[in-house]
Chain A
Amino acid sequence: MDIPFLTVAELGRAYETKELSPVEVTRALLDRAATHDGKLHSFIRVTEDVALAEAKVAEAEIMAGKRRRPLHGIPYGLKDVIETAGITTTGHSKLRQDYVPREDAEIVRRLKAGGGVLLGKLATWEFANGGPSFDLPWPPARNPWDTNRLPGGSSSGPGAAVAAGFMPVAIGTDTGGSVRGPAAFCGLAGLKPTYGRVSRRGVFPNTFTMDHCGPLTRSAEDIALVMQVIAGHDPADPSTEDCPVPNYRAALDGGVKRLRLGLVEGWHEGPGVHPDLAPAIAVAVAVLRQFGATIEPVKLSSLRDYTDCKTTISLVELYTIHEPDLRTRPQDFGRILRNHILAGGLIRAEEYQAALRWRTALAKEQMAVFQRVDALITASARSIADIADPDRISHGIGPSITQPFSISGVPALAIPCGFSRAENMPLSLQIAAGPFAEATVLRIAHAYQQATDWHRRHPLLA
C-alpha cells in the first residue's frame, strides 16, 4: 500500500482489516516529512512525540475493538493559527513565535475526541493574511507539484503537506479563499463550510465576520468524513448555528441526476485567466451533465465588486485585531501584512458601513439564485500557482474567484479538474450551494470524482 497517498476512507478500512496500524502509518508519514519537507517548508513544527503517543493510544483502542470512526488513528496537521494547548502556535509571525496556548481550539478538541493523530503545525501566510512573505522567521511553503512555485495561501502549509503525501488531511482557515486556493493550486479537495458551521473559537482571527475553519483532503469523501467530526454548534462561539449536523457520508451517494446547476458566466474566462481553465471547467460540466444534472447559465456581480467589498471589510476588522502591535512594534510584522493593517486603519467608518450594506446586497443576489439552482459551478482559481519570487511584493487585492462565497458565507468546495498543459499544474473546479448545504456540494463533487481520476494524481518528490 502506498501509505502517503491513501485517503482517510482507505486508511480507515485498512485499520478495520488490520492491514495497517496507526503507529505504522504515523511513523511512515513522519519519516516522509523528515525526508522531503526541507524543500517544501510545509511544517512550522513537527509534533513527533505527540503524534506517536496519540497513534499508540488509537492503535490500542482499535485493537481492543473500541473504534471511534471516522478519524480514529488518522494523522492530520493544523495551520499554525489554530491553538494547541502546550504546543507553540506562531501564526507564522515573529510577533507570536514563542506563544504557547493553554487551551486547545474547539476544532482541535473535536479532532482529539475523534481519535486524530496530530503530526504538526503547518505554515501559513502571516496570521492567515499577509503573504506570500519572504521576510518572516520561517520561509513560505512551496508547491509539491513544482517547488519553484507557491502552494497558494493562506493555508499554504496544509496545501503543501497534504499534496506531498505527508498527511491525508489538514485543517486550514478560509476568510477569502485560504482553504480553497491552496486546494486548487495543490490538486486537492478543500472546503469552506457555511459561516457558523464549524467553530472558530481558539483560532487566531483574521476577519471576525468571514473566518471559517475547513479541511483539505484528497477527496470529497474525505471532506465528508472530517466534517462529521468538526461540524456543529459551539455555545462559546457566537457565530455557530445550533442546527443539526447531517450525515455527510450518507449523503454522498445521491448522484447529480435532476440537480439544477448554475454555471457562473464571466468569472473563469477572459483576461487574466489561464487559457486551459475554461476548457477544463467545460469538460467538468459535461461530465456532470452526462450524469443527469441540468446546467443553466447564471449571471452575478463582477469579481471586482465582490473583492472590493470583501477586502474593505476584512482590512478594517484586521486593523482592529492588530492595532496594539502595530502601534508598538510595527517593524515585527512582515511588509505585506503591515501594509494591509495600515490600510485598514485609514478606511473610514462610513466606508466600512457602506461595504457592509454592499455585502448584504451581494449576498441577497446569490440567495436569489439559490432559489432556482441547487448549486453554482465555477473555477476555484483563475490561474495556476504563482512562481515563488522574493522580489515580487503583491498585496493580493485583485479580483478573486473565491471571495463571492466568503461574502455570502455559503459552503464552497474546490476539487481538481485537470492540469495545465504547459506547466502540468493543477486546475480546479469550485462548487457552492446555499447556506448549510454542504451535503449537496459534497454529493456533486463525489459524483464527479467517481467519474474522474484527477484527485488520484499526486506529485513525485525528488
Chain B
Amino acid sequence: MPNDLSHLPPASADEIRLLVKRAGLDLSEELLQQFIVAWPEYEAMVRRIPRGWAYTDEPAHIFCPIRVGGG
C-alpha cells in the first residue's frame, strides 16, 4: 500500500534557500523571501503524494514510438 511523507517537518527558511541554490537558481533577496513564504504549501502537497508503488504500476506517460514521427 503506498504511503506518503506528510509526517516530515516543514523545511526551514535556511533549508529552502539551500534547495533553491542546489537547483542552480540565483534570486534576489526580495524574490527569495516571497518564495520562502509560498513554499510550505507546495511542500505539504508534494509530501502527500503516495509512495511505494508496485513495479507493475505504470506512470501515465508511456513512450509511443509511432507518435514521435508525427504518425
Contact = CB atoms under 8 A, between A and B. Distances in A.
A331 B25 CA distance: 12
B10 interface: no
B41 interface: yes
Contacts of A331: 28, 31
Interface in B25-40: 25-28, 31, 34-35, 38-39
11 contacts: A308-B45, A327-B24, A327-B26, A339-B39, A342-B27, A343-B35, A353-B59, A356-B60, A357-B57, A358-B49, A397-B41
Contacts of B50: 354, 358
Which of B19, B23, B31, B49 is most buried by chain A, counting CB atoms within 10 A of its CB? B49
Interface string B42-69: 1001101111010001111100000110
Contacts of B42: 315, 343, 346-347, 395, 397
A347 B41 CA distance: 13
B70 interface: yes
Interface string A302-343: 001000110111010000000000110011000100110011
Contacts of B13: none
Nearest to A343: B42
Contacts of B41: 395, 397
A308 B41 CA distance: 11
Given A327-B24, A327-B25, A346-B39, A357 B48 contact: no
A359 B60 contact: yes
A275 interface: no
Contacts of A354: 2, 49-51, 53
Give the secondary structure class of A's interface: helix
Contact of A339 (B28, B35, B48, B70): B35
A346 B19 CA distance: 7
A424 interface: no
A238 B63 CA distance: 11
Interface of A: 209, 235-236, 238, 304, 308-309, 311-313, 315, 326-327, 330-331, 335, 338-339, 342-343, 345-347, 351, 353-361, 363, 395, 397
A126 to B, nearest CB: 15
Q: Which 3 A-B pairs have the closest CB atoms?
A: A356-B59, A359-B60, A343-B42
A308 B43 CA distance: 11
Contact of A342 (B2, B20, B61, B67): B20
A312 B25 contact: no
Contacts of B71: 235
B22 to A, nearest CB: 9
Interface residues of B, number: 32
A75 to B, nearest CB: 33
B27 A355 contact: no
A342 B67 CA distance: 31
A240 to B, nearest CB: 10
B59 A357 contact: yes
Contact of A330 (B2, B24, B31, B70): B31
A304 B50 CA distance: 12
A356 B51 CA distance: 11
B39 A361 contact: no
Contacts of A360: 57-60
A320 B54 CA distance: 27
A308 B49 CA distance: 7
A192 to B, nearest CB: 17
Contacts of B53: 354, 357-358
B69 to A, nearest CB: 9
Contacts of A209: 60-61
A120 to B, nearest CB: 32
Contact of A359 (B46, B59, B67): B59
Nearest to B11: A346
A258 B16 CA distance: 56
Contacts of A313: 60
B45 A397 contact: yes
A351 B61 contact: no
A342 B38 CA distance: 10
A235 B70 contact: yes
Nearest to B39: A343
Given A356-B61, A360-B57, 11 more contacts: A308-B45, A313-B60, A327-B24, A330-B28, A330-B31, A338-B34, A339-B34, A342-B39, A343-B35, A343-B38, A358-B49
